Amino acid sequence: MPDTTRKTSPAPRTAYWYKQYTLPLAVAVLLIFHAVGVWGLLYSSDPASFQRLTPMNLLLTNALLFGFHRNWNKAFLLFAVVVASTGFLAEVLGVHTGLLFGNYSYGAALGPKLWEVPLLIGLNWLMLVYSTGHISNLARLPWLAKAGIGALLMVVLDYFIEPVAMQYDFWSWQAGHIPVSNFVGWFGVALLLQVYFQKASFFKHNKIAPWVYLVQLLFFICLYSTL
- The string of pLDDT tens digits covering residues 151-180 is 999 999 999 999 999 998 899 998 889 999
Q: Residue 213 has what pLDDT?
A: 97
Nearest CA to 159 out of 182, 190, 125 is that of 182
Report how far residue 125's alpha carbon sits from residue 91's, in angstroms, rounded to the nearest whole number: 10
For residue 9, give the DSSP letter.
P
User: In terms of residues, how long is the chain?
Assistant: 227
The low-confidence residues of the chain, meaning pLDDT below 50, are 1-8
pLDDT of residue 16: 57
Strand locations in 45-137 (E): 104-106, 113-114, 117-118
* Distance between first and last Cα of the chain: 73
Is the Cβ–Cβ distance between 50 and 185 less than 8 Å? Answer: no
Residue 215 CB-half CA count within 13 A: 27
Contacts with 2 (C-beta within 8 Å, 6 or more apart), sequence order? none
* Cβ pair 105, 176 in contact under 8 A: no
Output the pLDDT for position 20. 77
What integer pLDDT is reported at residue 98 of this predicted model?
87
What's the confidence (pLDDT) of residue 12? 62
Q: Which residues contact 210 (CB under 8 A, 6 or more apart)?
A: 131, 134, 135, 138
Contact 129, 197 (CB under 8 A): yes
d(CA 209, CA 66): 9
Q: How far apart (Å, rounded) are the C-alpha atoms in residues 150 and 61?
A: 19
d(CA 112, CA 120): 8
Distance between CA 117 and CA 77 in Å, rounded?
23
Contact criterion met (CB below 8 Å) for 155 and 136: no
